[in-house]
Homo-oligomer: A and B are copies of this chain.
Amino acid sequence: SGDFVGYSFWLISMALAASTIFFLMEALRMGGKWATSLTVSALVTFIAAFHYMYMREVWVSTGASPTDFRYIDWLLTVPLLMIEFYLILAAITKVSGGIFWRLLIGTLVMLVPGYMGEAGYLNVTVGFVIGMLGWFYILYEIFAGEASKVAAAEATAAVQKSYGLMKWTVTIGWAIYPIGYFLGYLAGGTDQGTLNIVYNLADVLNKIAFGLFIWYAANEDTS
Protein backbone atom coordinates (compact mmCIF):
# COMPACT_ATOMS: atom_id res chain seq x y z
CA SER A 1 0.00 0.00 0.00
CA GLY A 2 1.22 3.46 -0.91
CA ASP A 3 3.94 2.08 -3.20
CA PHE A 4 3.49 4.66 -5.95
CA VAL A 5 6.41 3.37 -7.95
CA GLY A 6 4.79 -0.06 -8.04
CA TYR A 7 1.45 1.56 -8.94
CA SER A 8 3.04 3.41 -11.85
CA PHE A 9 4.43 0.13 -13.23
CA TRP A 10 0.97 -1.40 -12.96
CA LEU A 11 -0.79 1.62 -14.45
CA ILE A 12 1.48 1.78 -17.47
CA SER A 13 1.30 -1.94 -18.15
CA MET A 14 -2.52 -1.74 -18.22
CA ALA A 15 -2.43 1.35 -20.45
CA LEU A 16 0.00 -0.41 -22.78
CA ALA A 17 -2.13 -3.56 -22.94
CA ALA A 18 -5.25 -1.52 -23.72
CA SER A 19 -3.32 0.45 -26.37
CA THR A 20 -2.31 -2.83 -27.98
CA ILE A 21 -5.93 -3.84 -28.42
CA PHE A 22 -6.80 -0.39 -29.75
CA PHE A 23 -4.03 -0.35 -32.36
CA LEU A 24 -4.80 -3.91 -33.52
CA MET A 25 -8.51 -3.18 -33.89
CA GLU A 26 -7.86 0.03 -35.78
CA ALA A 27 -5.41 -1.78 -38.05
CA LEU A 28 -8.14 -4.30 -38.89
CA ARG A 29 -10.62 -1.51 -39.49
CA MET A 30 -8.40 0.59 -41.74
CA GLY A 31 -6.67 -2.11 -43.78
CA GLY A 32 -4.32 -1.24 -46.63
CA LYS A 33 -0.76 -0.04 -46.07
CA TRP A 34 -1.67 1.94 -42.96
CA ALA A 35 -2.62 -1.29 -41.22
CA THR A 36 1.05 -2.26 -41.09
CA SER A 37 2.02 0.96 -39.25
CA LEU A 38 -0.74 0.46 -36.71
CA THR A 39 0.20 -3.20 -36.22
CA VAL A 40 3.78 -2.15 -35.49
CA SER A 41 2.50 0.38 -32.94
CA ALA A 42 0.65 -2.52 -31.35
CA LEU A 43 3.81 -4.64 -31.27
CA VAL A 44 5.61 -1.86 -29.36
CA THR A 45 2.88 -1.58 -26.74
CA PHE A 46 2.46 -5.37 -26.57
CA ILE A 47 6.16 -5.98 -25.89
CA ALA A 48 6.26 -3.13 -23.38
CA ALA A 49 3.10 -4.29 -21.57
CA PHE A 50 4.73 -7.66 -21.02
CA HIS A 51 8.00 -6.13 -19.82
CA TYR A 52 6.20 -3.71 -17.52
CA MET A 53 4.31 -6.49 -15.79
CA TYR A 54 7.56 -8.31 -15.25
CA MET A 55 9.44 -5.13 -14.17
CA ARG A 56 6.68 -4.43 -11.67
CA GLU A 57 7.23 -7.84 -10.13
CA VAL A 58 10.96 -7.19 -9.88
CA TRP A 59 10.31 -3.81 -8.25
CA VAL A 60 7.63 -5.03 -5.84
CA SER A 61 9.53 -8.12 -4.74
CA THR A 62 13.09 -6.75 -4.58
CA GLY A 63 12.79 -2.95 -4.52
CA ALA A 64 15.55 -2.82 -7.15
CA SER A 65 15.41 -0.96 -10.47
CA PRO A 66 14.76 -3.45 -13.27
CA THR A 67 17.44 -1.87 -15.45
CA ASP A 68 18.34 -4.99 -17.45
CA PHE A 69 14.73 -5.52 -18.47
CA ARG A 70 14.34 -1.87 -19.48
CA TYR A 71 17.21 -2.34 -21.90
CA ILE A 72 15.82 -5.62 -23.27
CA ASP A 73 12.53 -3.78 -23.82
CA TRP A 74 14.34 -0.88 -25.54
CA LEU A 75 16.34 -3.22 -27.74
CA LEU A 76 13.09 -4.55 -29.15
CA THR A 77 10.84 -1.49 -29.11
CA VAL A 78 13.16 1.32 -30.23
CA PRO A 79 13.93 -0.38 -33.59
CA LEU A 80 10.18 -0.87 -34.05
CA LEU A 81 9.63 2.85 -33.40
CA MET A 82 12.32 3.58 -35.99
CA ILE A 83 10.55 1.36 -38.54
CA GLU A 84 7.53 3.61 -38.11
CA PHE A 85 9.33 6.56 -39.70
CA TYR A 86 9.88 4.32 -42.69
CA LEU A 87 6.38 2.84 -42.71
CA ILE A 88 4.36 6.05 -42.52
CA LEU A 89 6.29 7.32 -45.53
CA ALA A 90 6.02 3.96 -47.33
CA ALA A 91 2.25 4.08 -46.82
CA ILE A 92 2.04 7.10 -49.12
CA THR A 93 5.07 6.99 -51.45
CA LYS A 94 8.06 4.90 -52.53
CA VAL A 95 10.98 5.15 -50.05
CA SER A 96 14.35 3.43 -49.73
CA GLY A 97 14.96 0.88 -47.00
CA GLY A 98 18.19 2.76 -46.17
CA ILE A 99 16.12 5.11 -43.98
CA PHE A 100 15.36 2.23 -41.63
CA TRP A 101 18.83 0.70 -41.62
CA ARG A 102 20.52 4.00 -40.71
CA LEU A 103 18.06 4.59 -37.88
CA LEU A 104 18.71 1.04 -36.66
CA ILE A 105 22.45 1.65 -36.52
CA GLY A 106 21.83 4.86 -34.56
CA THR A 107 19.66 2.88 -32.13
CA LEU A 108 22.36 0.29 -31.46
CA VAL A 109 25.06 2.94 -31.02
CA MET A 110 22.76 4.64 -28.51
CA LEU A 111 21.64 1.60 -26.52
CA VAL A 112 24.55 -0.85 -26.42
CA PRO A 113 27.20 1.50 -24.93
CA GLY A 114 24.50 2.96 -22.64
CA TYR A 115 23.79 -0.50 -21.25
CA MET A 116 27.48 -1.36 -20.97
CA GLY A 117 27.99 1.83 -18.98
CA GLU A 118 25.13 1.10 -16.58
CA ALA A 119 26.09 -2.56 -16.17
CA GLY A 120 29.74 -1.82 -15.49
CA TYR A 121 31.24 -3.25 -18.69
CA LEU A 122 32.36 0.22 -19.82
CA ASN A 123 33.26 3.45 -18.10
CA VAL A 124 29.95 5.24 -17.35
CA THR A 125 31.07 8.50 -18.98
CA VAL A 126 32.33 6.80 -22.13
CA GLY A 127 29.09 4.80 -22.39
CA PHE A 128 27.10 7.99 -21.99
CA VAL A 129 29.05 9.97 -24.58
CA ILE A 130 28.90 7.26 -27.28
CA GLY A 131 25.21 6.70 -26.54
CA MET A 132 24.55 10.45 -26.96
CA LEU A 133 26.27 10.35 -30.37
CA GLY A 134 23.93 7.53 -31.44
CA TRP A 135 20.91 9.56 -30.40
CA PHE A 136 22.19 12.70 -32.15
CA TYR A 137 22.66 10.67 -35.31
CA ILE A 138 19.01 9.54 -35.12
CA LEU A 139 17.94 13.17 -34.63
CA TYR A 140 20.04 14.24 -37.61
CA GLU A 141 18.40 11.60 -39.82
CA ILE A 142 14.84 12.54 -38.94
CA PHE A 143 15.38 16.33 -38.89
CA ALA A 144 17.71 16.77 -41.89
CA GLY A 145 18.27 13.35 -43.55
CA GLU A 146 16.49 11.47 -46.33
CA ALA A 147 13.33 10.76 -44.30
CA SER A 148 12.83 14.43 -43.49
CA LYS A 149 13.19 15.35 -47.18
CA VAL A 150 10.68 12.73 -48.30
CA ALA A 151 8.27 13.90 -45.60
CA ALA A 152 8.62 17.55 -46.63
CA ALA A 153 8.32 16.88 -50.37
CA GLU A 154 5.75 14.13 -50.73
CA ALA A 155 3.72 13.62 -47.58
CA THR A 156 0.08 14.54 -47.17
CA ALA A 157 -0.80 17.23 -44.63
CA ALA A 158 -1.80 14.60 -42.05
CA VAL A 159 1.40 12.62 -42.48
CA GLN A 160 3.48 15.80 -42.20
CA LYS A 161 1.74 16.70 -38.98
CA SER A 162 2.27 13.26 -37.51
CA TYR A 163 5.87 13.10 -38.76
CA GLY A 164 6.49 16.37 -36.93
CA LEU A 165 4.96 15.08 -33.69
CA MET A 166 7.00 11.87 -33.91
CA LYS A 167 10.19 13.86 -34.56
CA TRP A 168 9.69 16.04 -31.51
CA THR A 169 8.82 13.04 -29.37
CA VAL A 170 12.21 11.55 -30.24
CA THR A 171 13.77 14.86 -29.22
CA ILE A 172 11.93 15.84 -26.06
CA GLY A 173 10.36 12.59 -24.88
CA TRP A 174 13.54 10.58 -25.33
CA ALA A 175 15.68 13.20 -23.53
CA ILE A 176 14.30 11.90 -20.24
CA TYR A 177 16.39 8.71 -20.46
CA PRO A 178 19.86 10.29 -20.91
CA ILE A 179 18.93 12.88 -18.26
CA GLY A 180 18.10 10.05 -15.87
CA TYR A 181 21.36 8.33 -16.73
CA PHE A 182 23.27 11.58 -16.18
CA LEU A 183 21.64 12.27 -12.81
CA GLY A 184 22.04 8.69 -11.66
CA TYR A 185 25.63 8.01 -12.63
CA LEU A 186 27.38 11.28 -13.37
CA ALA A 187 25.75 13.84 -11.06
CA GLY A 188 26.09 12.02 -7.79
CA GLY A 189 23.05 9.71 -7.82
CA THR A 190 19.30 10.14 -7.69
CA ASP A 191 16.35 8.52 -5.99
CA GLN A 192 15.57 5.19 -7.73
CA GLY A 193 11.87 5.40 -6.97
CA THR A 194 11.45 8.85 -8.50
CA LEU A 195 13.56 7.87 -11.50
CA ASN A 196 11.41 4.84 -12.22
CA ILE A 197 8.19 6.89 -11.99
CA VAL A 198 9.62 9.42 -14.45
CA TYR A 199 10.75 6.67 -16.85
CA ASN A 200 7.35 5.02 -16.63
CA LEU A 201 5.46 8.21 -17.36
CA ALA A 202 7.84 8.97 -20.22
CA ASP A 203 6.68 5.78 -21.90
CA VAL A 204 3.12 7.07 -22.03
CA LEU A 205 4.47 9.67 -24.43
CA ASN A 206 7.16 7.63 -26.17
CA LYS A 207 5.13 4.49 -26.77
CA ILE A 208 1.40 5.24 -26.47
CA ALA A 209 1.20 8.84 -27.70
CA PHE A 210 3.76 8.05 -30.42
CA GLY A 211 1.41 5.33 -31.65
CA LEU A 212 -1.55 7.72 -31.47
CA PHE A 213 0.29 10.25 -33.66
CA ILE A 214 0.54 7.53 -36.33
CA TRP A 215 -3.08 6.61 -35.78
CA TYR A 216 -4.00 10.26 -36.37
CA ALA A 217 -2.35 10.29 -39.81
CA ALA A 218 -3.78 6.87 -40.70
CA ASN A 219 -7.26 7.92 -39.66
CA GLU A 220 -7.12 11.23 -41.56
CA ASP A 221 -5.77 9.64 -44.73
CA THR A 222 -8.15 6.69 -44.92
CA SER A 223 -11.42 8.50 -44.17
Contact = CB atoms under 8 A, between A and B. Distances in A.
A167 to B, nearest CB: 21
A72 B39 contact: no
A10 interface: yes
A42 interface: yes
A17 interface: yes
Contacts of A7: 68, 72
Oligomer copy total: 3
Given A26-B39, A28-B28, 11 more contacts: A7-B72, A14-B47, A14-B51, A14-B72, A15-B76, A18-B43, A18-B80, A21-B39, A22-B40, A25-B35, A26-B35
A29 B33 CA distance: 9
Contacts of A46: 17-18, 21
Max chain B C-beta neighbours (<10 A), residue from A25, A26, A75: A25
Contacts of A69: 10
Given A14-B47, A18-B76, A25 B28 contact: yes
A174 B49 CA distance: 30
Contacts of A27: 25, 29
A139 interface: no
A1 B68 contact: yes
A2 interface: yes
A223 B36 CA distance: 13
A175 interface: no
A35 B215 CA distance: 14
A222 B218 CA distance: 20
A42 B21 CA distance: 9
Interface string A66-97: 00110010011000100000000000000000
